[in-house]
Amino acid sequence: MKILVTGAAGFIGSHTSERLQELGHEVIGIDNFSSYYDISLKKLNEKSLLAKDITVQSLDLRTANLAEVLPKDISYIMHFAAHPGISNTSTFEDYFSNNILATQRLLEFAEKLPKPPFFVNIATSSIYGLEATFPETVAPKPASWYGVTKLAAEQLVLAKSREGKLKGTSLRLFSVYGPRERPDKLYTRLIDCGLNSKKFPLFEGSEKHLRSFTYVQDIVDGIVSVIGKETICDGEIFNLGTETETTTAHGIAIMEDILQKKIDTEQKPPRAGDQSRTKANIDKARKLLNYNPQTTLKEGLEAQTAWFKDNLL
């Protein structure tokens, strides 16, 4: 099948693109190479994809004429492209245009195709709010611009399904880590600080935060499991992540054990909208998608550390 992957040069999008190709699909990768973080890191991901004959076209969903530049015989859209995370330097307009407007334009393109593709929206546990421990049936209470706009994007996709204009699903991902993780995320920062003798910025109270830290390949397992299950997944939301909870403090301790050195910390004020607890309730995904993440946090962090040493030192 021909599968369009938006945000293909990003962290999870690049891993998913590789897996899709391994499964025998033709990947059409696009990315706007946003300056949200160092573009050279996305270029590094792109280089890895090119080595496997996966090309990534530079394209902005918000402004490009999608009908002119994208193929019309797409079977699936995997929509990763978004303005991510919680950032004091990002405006509401950044989140709105990248997460809502871009999704709407992509949906308009998809529904006008001769045979509309199945639309897989990549969402986030931030939709649930300050605590994300619930099944998909619980009403969301997002507490950040990121969570609010990702919820809106999710509902745009599900609205098209309810209208019968195209089939689609939304996958809420929980605390993904692993090789190629963004530089602003916890474990990339910890590895960088540990290996380069920098002080790690520890937000006040965050050492007690609980997270369902989920290895990226376990997340990709869940994403690709949707393929072939269009009838089951249409109009549905699925949580993807591990059920194991880990505090930030314990995560730091695991990293120190892997690096065999103490990581110095620097106290920072708490971040508004930062989640205090996430624990993926995956009963639905386990039942309908046969989803069962297996990678331990230490195993995943050892792989991430090895990648960092090979590519960023």
Q: Would you name the residues annotated as active-site residues?
A: 146
Beta strands (DSSP E) in 26-97 are: 26-31, 56-58, 76-79
Note the pLDDT of residue 284: 98
Over residues 163-183, mean pLDDT:
97
The domain spanning residue 127 has which CATH number?
3.40.50.720
270 within some domain: no
Domain that holds residue 116: 2-176+214-244+277-295
Tokens 């059409």, located at residue: 28
Note the pLDDT of residue 270: 73
pLDDT digits (tens, 9 = 90+) for 248-290: 999 999 999 999 999 988 888 877 767 888 999 999 999 999 9
- Number of structural domains the chain divides into: 1
pLDDT digits (tens, 9 = 90+) for 19-35: 999 999 999 999 999 98
- Could you tell me the pTM of the whole model? 0.95
Cα dihedral value 226, 230, 233, 238, nearest 10: 20
Tokens 């950044």, located at residue: 94
269 within some domain: no
Checking if the pLDDT of 207 tops 90, the result is no
- % pLDDT > 70, the chain: 99
